[in-house]
Amino acid sequence: MKNLLKIIILTVTVTSNIVFADIYSKTIQSFIEQSMNGLELQTQIHINTWNLGQADNWNVDQETGKISWTFLDDSYVESDVQIIGTYSKKSGTFLWAWAHPSILKQLAKSSELVKAYGEKHKIKKFTTRKVSCTEAEAWEFTALANQLAGSNEAYRGNGYPKVFMTFGKVTMKKAKP
């Protein structure tokens, strides 16, 4: 009986790994890694150029489709924005923007690209409106959207839930308008 239990546990473990491999083939794993590496490079450029991550405040205006960051010296940075989804650390879930009732459709286009990619490659995590995941996976989803849409960078807004976004070319101004 003890050996049978070991075989059952081993079978479950192997089956889980095979399912994971089916979800993310080596080609898709490689694409996600490339997307994450590209995002890391973009992030460093924005940190060096305009201090991404050091803003005093950030805001998304869904009506205008803009994200802005303000700094203590009254300078600000603004860009077009796309919302990829929201992550709840409490429940360990990610809700895609394309299915989010609070996100305007025009701001969910990049998340729809990931959904289409998921449909093409039969990846349920990309096509299911709300998925269990880690925050690291939420970053992977966002990096993938960034890559597919040809965006300029990604950003995770602080707060609850955490909002994952991508943005385009930035405009920097010394003083607020």
CA-closest candidate to residue 123, choices 102, 144, 154: 144
Distance of alpha carbon 177 from alpha carbon 167, whole angstroms: 21
Three-state DSSP class for residue 165: strand
Domain boundaries, the chain: 23-173
Q: Could you tell me the pTM of the whole model? A: 0.83
Identity of residue 120: K
- Residue 26's pLDDT is 86
- Residue 141's pLDDT is 97
Dihedral sign (CA 105, 106, 111, 112): positive
Distance of alpha carbon 97 from alpha carbon 105, whole angstroms: 8
Distance of alpha carbon 72 from alpha carbon 51, whole angstroms: 12
* Residue ranges for the chain with pLDDT beneath 50: 1-22
- Residue 158's pLDDT is 86
Q: Are 162 and 89 in contact (CB under 8 A)?
A: yes
Three-state DSSP class for residue 51: coil
Measured N-to-C along each axis, helices 26-50 and 135-149 cross at an angle, to the nearest 10 degrees, of 80
- Residue 177's pLDDT is 57
Distance of alpha carbon 124 from alpha carbon 56, whole angstroms: 37
